Structure 1
Amino acid sequence: MAQETRPEGNDGTGFFAKNGKIYDPDGEEFIPLGFNAATFWAPAVGDCKQANMYTKVPQSGANAVRIVSQVDGSFGWNSNPTTQRELIDSAISNQLVPMLEMHNATCGEPLQPIIDYWESETMVEMAKDFEKYLWINIANEHNFDSPEEWRDTYIDIITSLRSKGVKNLIVLDAGDRCGQDPEAPLTYGKAVLDADPQKNVVFSIHMYGFWRSEDRSFTDWTPPFLVEEELPKLKETGISLIVGEFALDDEAAGEGGPNYTADSVLAVCQRNGIGWYAWSFFDSQEAYYYSMVDDVCGDLSEENRTIAGKYFIPYLQEHASIPELMGSFLRVSDPQITVPRNNGSGSFFIQTNGDWTVETEDAWIEIATPNGTKNAKVQISTQNTDEDRSGTITIRTNTEVFDVEINQANVLNVNPTSIETPSFAGSKTIEIESNGDWTVS
């Protein structure tokens, strides 16, 4: 397939936007799929949150990360250029395309400190140093008085940054209702793009309580923006679009939570070639519908994943493609798989940007897909046995090798193991975890 050329006037070396799509520096289409990583608050778990950038976020299957930060001197233990540079560098080293944003313009907070910060010599130098990879998200969810003010302000900011030699891809949040109102980019997005000397702007919609999907019904109040209608309309204007924040729909979100289903958002994005960043990798232990893991200092095991983690992580591991320019790599979703003794089967995800093979020396393990290219879901099955046993599957690329341990054993966990029932009618619940058939008598 032919590689896309840069827009007229674009002489940068990094990612670029053209004809409603996003391309990597080699001219290959790139659809970002990943997480917001809110690293600047909660200093009590700050070391773990920063470590996520080196380990768990890459292991999650994401190909991109929105680094949620603030201007130097603001609230937050890592709101400074040194840590921001480290986070960008770690993302690139772990095959994540980084987007750096400034969070302290949210809703009604002032914008000028953020403008001054991006135009400072330190941040201009940082942008230039990471031009090939870094996306610049100017300000998070800033509210403007009108779409015209949004247009004029961002044209001025972009013009100033370009005059200083900043050629990075720039991301602009929508301009009202805290980043959720599509009116400004729908009306003036193309004008902002055309005014950019580099023609390199992507527009971002955030989705929370003001958005709805067709599979939801409402009685007292209907959210104004329909996922299935507004996202395609934005794309039809010719702008490149991402969903910069959204969340899993869950009743625990309560008032102010999403009024759409995540299934609808993902389906519309996939049909229209729109990338997205879920909020967030870890927000707080209480807001598990906004976090992928329960314990931020824990691992990525199924036991430590929240309902959101169980939803988003497998999707990313199957669908997020990583550009070849990010370097050779191999990610495997599961280092260990346990299947039952009879009719055993399982699967795991492979992520790589090249060719791969899967093989085993254990004759009782059967591999449905022994080789392939780039991302894949690999199915395995096992022959029946009367005893527990273990084997190994080996995944190879041109540069990497990864072993998956296959355990064949019947698993049965019951909680609680004893119960007391009242003398009168009543009910109790027993949780059963098993990888095979079971009966209760």
Structure 2
Amino acid sequence: MRTTAPTATTPRRVVAIVFAAVAALLLSLPGLAPPARAAAAGLHVAGGKLVEGNGTPFVMRGVNHAHTWYATRTTQALADIKALGANTVRVVLSTGDRWAKNDTADVANAVAQCKRNRLICVLEAHDTTGYGEQGGAVSLARAADYWVSVRAALTGQESYVVVNLGNEPYGNTNATAWTADTTAAIRKLRSAGIHHALMADAPNWGQDWSFTMRDNAAAVLAADPDRNTVFSVHMYGVFDTAAEVKDYLTRFVNAKLPLVVGEFGDNHSDGNPDEAAIMANAQTLGVGYLGWSWSGNSGGVEYLDMATGFNAAALTSWGQRIFKGANGIGSTSREATVYRA
């Protein structure tokens, strides 16, 4: 509401000037200034990109590994994924709501194995998949509680770990709730002292065809007290043309919003994704990508396996493409500088 200001000679004006001067003096004194957001430590967002603690941009080039279902395969899987050139692995975990819980000790072990293999570790809670549409799926609030419960495994790992709040946290039902729920989850982690780079998956089973994430990402980032959130889109059948891929990625880059293609494949039951366009545009724009997935797929999507039976010597056509093809991991991946120190 607009009001008419008093003249410079009125007592109200004099009081206002004195008050402002006193407030400025008080705020200049140590300990009385308003709290600043947490100083960046380790991986963090700067200038619309994910960077390391030393300011070097870090572009993810890697794959997903379904640790929660294949924990006994993880040691060899991570070694093989690294040997093929990846700099990042996205590790599937469970909150315990839909599958057996990956507890603090197991999370700490997964992080240690990533570090042993000189990989950046993206940890994701899978139980949120398709919330609102798929039976048994849990909310982002529940996933946030899980991260708080295992924070001892995360403490001190800010240079090596990105916390992916929840996998595909909405189906196609009530996807507009994504903005508020993602913001609330981020704030819960920050309040608990978790200051890692966070990753927020899109709704619509990760594919954001409603553009809910695209159109609200700036607001979510601004609401993060640390300003340290990366966004993740999953590119399957929705992204079946080069034009769609380029438009989506470019909008984030132009808006200086950090983005990763957190999942994609070379085929899918909901349509044929344009993996060549995904990889080429990601390389041109400096956007990270993490293919789905190393091995162990079932339920009719076995074609998404990169390695047959977890055997690195038996790469599938998809595995050959993502690791050894044009704009693939082998030719574009750069190891995190934290491992080169």
TM over 0.5: yes
Amino acid at match of 2:278: V
Provide the aligned length of Structure 1 versus Structure 2: 294
The within-5 A match list for 1:159-198 is 159-175=187-203, 177-181=204-208, 183-198=211-226
Question: Quick check: 1:83 aligned with 2:97?
Answer: no
1:309-352 deviations in whole A, cap 9, x for unaligned? 11112221221001221137xxxxxxxxxxxxxxxxxxxxxxxx
Q: CA deviation at 1:288?
A: 4.9
Amino acid at match of 1:99: V
In structure 1, distance between residues paired with 2:64 and 2:166: 14
Q: CA deviation at 1:261?
A: 2.3
Amino acid at match of 1:324: T
Contact 1:244 1:276 in 2 (8 A): yes
Contact 1:288 1:307 in 2 (8 A): no
Which residue number in structure 2 is paired with residue 270 of structure 1?
A: 283
Q: CA deviation at 1:110?
A: 1.8
Aligned pair in 2 of structure 1 residues 17, 261: CA closer, same or farther (>3 Å)? same
Question: Quick check: 1:280 aligned with 2:293?
Answer: yes
Which residue number in structure 1 is paired with residue 255 of structure 2?
A: 237
Which residue number in structure 2 is paired with residue 115 of structure 1?
A: 144
Provide the TM-score with structure 2 as the length reference.
0.80
Q: CA deviation at 1:143?
A: 1.1
Counterpart selection for 2:181 from 153, 163, 173: 153
Contact 1:282 1:293 in 2 (8 A): yes
Q: CA deviation at 1:203?
A: 0.3
In structure 1, distance between residues paired with 2:259 and 2:97: 31
Q: CA deviation at 1:80?
A: 2.4
Q: CA deviation at 1:280?
A: 0.3
In structure 2, distance between residues paired with 1:214 and 1:54: 31
Contact 1:65 1:97 in 2 (8 A): yes
Q: CA deviation at 1:293?
A: 1.0
Counterpart selection for 1:289 from 294, 303, 306: 303
Question: Quick check: 1:205 aligned with 2:233?
Answer: yes
Amino acid at match of 2:223: A
Q: Determine what percentage of the aligned residue pairs are the same residue.
A: 25
The within-5 A match list for 1:54-133 is 54-72=78-96, 74-76=98-100, 79-108=102-131, 109-111=137-139, 112-120=141-149, 123-133=150-160
Which residue number in structure 2 is paired with residue 322 of structure 1?
A: 335
Amino acid at match of 1:237: A
In structure 2, distance between residues paired with 1:142 and 1:325: 31
Q: CA deviation at 1:16?
A: 0.7
> 1:211 aligns to what SS in structure 2?
coil
The within-5 A match list for 1:295-374 is 295-296=309-310, 298=311, 300-301=312-313, 304-314=314-324, 315-327=328-340
In structure 1, distance between residues paired with 2:253 and 2:293: 25
Which residue number in structure 2 is paired with residue 36 of structure 1?
A: 64
Question: Quick check: 1:9 aligned with 2:23?
Answer: no
> 1:52 aligns to what SS in structure 2?
helix
Aligned pair in 2 of structure 1 residues 96, 162: CA closer, same or farther (>3 Å)? same
Q: CA deviation at 1:147?
A: 5.7
In structure 2, distance between residues paired with 1:291 and 1:91: 20
Q: Which has more helix, going by share of residues?
A: 2
Aligned pair in 2 of structure 1 residues 163, 279: CA closer, same or farther (>3 Å)? same
1:4-30 deviations in whole A, cap 9, x for unaligned? xxxx83413210112221101111011
Question: Quick check: 1:142 aligned with 2:174?
Answer: no
Q: CA deviation at 1:146?
A: 4.8
Aligned pair in 2 of structure 1 residues 100, 214: CA closer, same or farther (>3 Å)? closer
Amino acid at match of 2:143: I
Q: CA deviation at 1:57?
A: 1.4
Q: Which has more strand, going by share of residues?
A: 1
1:48-80 deviations in whole A, cap 9, x for unaligned? x2123442111121000100111146424x722
Contact 1:53 1:87 in 2 (8 A): no
Contact 1:288 1:294 in 2 (8 A): no
In structure 1, distance between residues paired with 2:59 and 2:287: 7
Name structure 2 gaps, 5 residues minimum.
1-35, 132-136
Contact 1:282 1:292 in 2 (8 A): yes
Amino acid at match of 2:111: I
Amino acid at match of 1:127: L
In structure 2, distance between residues paired with 1:20 and 1:271: 15
Which residue number in structure 1 is paired with residue 16 of structure 2?
A: none
> 1:212 aligns to what SS in structure 2?
coil
In structure 2, distance between residues paired with 1:18 and 1:59: 30
Q: CA deviation at 1:168?
A: 0.1
In structure 1, distance between residues paired with 2:106 and 2:37: 33
Contact 1:204 1:243 in 2 (8 A): yes
RMSD across aligned C-alpha pairs, in angstroms? 2.2
Deviates more, 1:318-327 or 1:142-151: 142-151
Amino acid at match of 2:105: T
> 1:90 aligns to what SS in structure 2?
helix
1:372-416 deviations in whole A, cap 9, x for unaligned? xxxxxxxxxxxxxxxxxxxxxxxxxxxxxxxxxxxxxxxxxxxxx
Name structure 1 gaps, 5 residues minimum.
1-7, 216-225, 329-441
Amino acid at match of 1:178: W
In structure 2, distance between residues paired with 1:279 and 1:319: 18
Aligned pair in 2 of structure 1 residues 288, 308: CA closer, same or farther (>3 Å)? farther
Provide the TM-score with structure 1 as the length reference.
0.63
> 1:238 aligns to what SS in structure 2?
coil
